[in-house]
Amino acid sequence: MAYLHPPCPSPTSHPTSRPAFKPSITVTTSSHHLPSTQKPTANSNNWVSEFRSKSLNLVLSGALTLGVSLSGAGIAEAKVGVNKPELLPKEFSPVIDVAGFLSDGQEKRLAEEIADIEKYTGYKLRVLAQNYPDTPGLAIKDFWQVDDRTIVFVADPTFGNILNFNVGASVDLDVPRSFWSRLAGKYGNMFYWKEKGEDGAIESAVMAISSCLKEPVDANNCSEVK
């Protein structure tokens, strides 16, 4: 799972254009996007798998740091990892808001949109709204059963830009990495979320991700942040 940190001092059937589910490496941190036709070697898989696991653990711990930067911002200063399962809801939800950014109605709308994304594409979008260190952290990994078809969207204004992403290996093959940095640049920058609110930034990002994932996979998919 690639940890995408934005710029800052910071089953239903699946469309035939997308590949069928095949278990693969849980997370990815290679510095370049792998085209759909390119397959990693066994040796590279071993190295990437180890590096991916470390990056995933750090971001899910609430640190939101030490992931490979796809936005040109470099690596942020590490924070102490957090694991607070007591902050998780008692029942499953694809949206966890421990920061209080979203209203009940907004959470419901986002959950419905996320369900539609999964039904249409097979990909799982999960949203965590937090203010580090008030976060369930690593506990969400098991709670959400994070795998290579999961996008973990962490909305946290700690580093200025509120949009942070971990992208599963299968998603990474279909969605160009530039999409995530452009998405963060458009809806995650401080000027936007200060004006529209954290909730506005989160909703806009989810709708843009939904639009991207539902596009046919070709050379021009996700070329625009809608």
Residue 33: pLDDT above 90? Answer: no
Specify if 16 maps to a domain. Answer: no
Two tokens at 56?
């995933």
Please, which residues bridge with residue 128 across strands? Answer: 96, 154
What local confidence, expressed as pLDDT, does residue 226 receive? 87
Give the pLDDT band of residue 159 (cuts 50, 70, 90): confident
Whether 153 contacts 163, CB under 8 Å: yes
CATH number of the domain bearing residue 173: 3.10.310.50
Specify if 141 maps to a domain. Answer: yes
Residue 108: pLDDT above 80? Answer: yes
Two tokens at 189?
């920058």
Give the pLDDT band of residue 82 (cuts 50, 70, 90): confident
Rounded to the nearest angstrom, the gap between the alpha carbon of residue 126 and the centroid of all alpha carbons in its chain is: 7
Find the distance separating the first CA and the last CA of the chain, reported in whole Å.
Answer: 24
Specify if 220 maps to a domain. Answer: no
Specify if 219 maps to a domain. Answer: no
Q: How many domains does the chain have?
A: 1
Whether 99 contacts 130, CB under 8 Å: yes
Specify if 99 maps to a domain. Answer: yes
Specify if 102 maps to a domain. Answer: yes
Residue-range definition of the domain harbouring residue 84: 2-8+42-213
Q: What average pLDDT does the segment 119-142 reach?
A: 94
Whether 188 contacts 205, CB under 8 Å: yes
Could you report the per-residue pLDDT of 170-208, keeping only the tens digit for each? 999 999 999 999 999 999 999 999 999 999 999 999 999
Give the pLDDT band of residue 122 (cuts 50, 70, 90): very high
Higher pLDDT, 203 or 57: 203
Q: What average pLDDT does the segment 61-71 reach?
A: 35
Rg (Cα) of the chain, in Å, rounded? 16
Specify if 204 maps to a domain. Answer: yes
Residue 41: pLDDT above 90? Answer: no
pLDDT, the chain, mean? 76
H or E segment to which residue 109 belongs: helix 104-121
Specify if 92 maps to a domain. Answer: yes
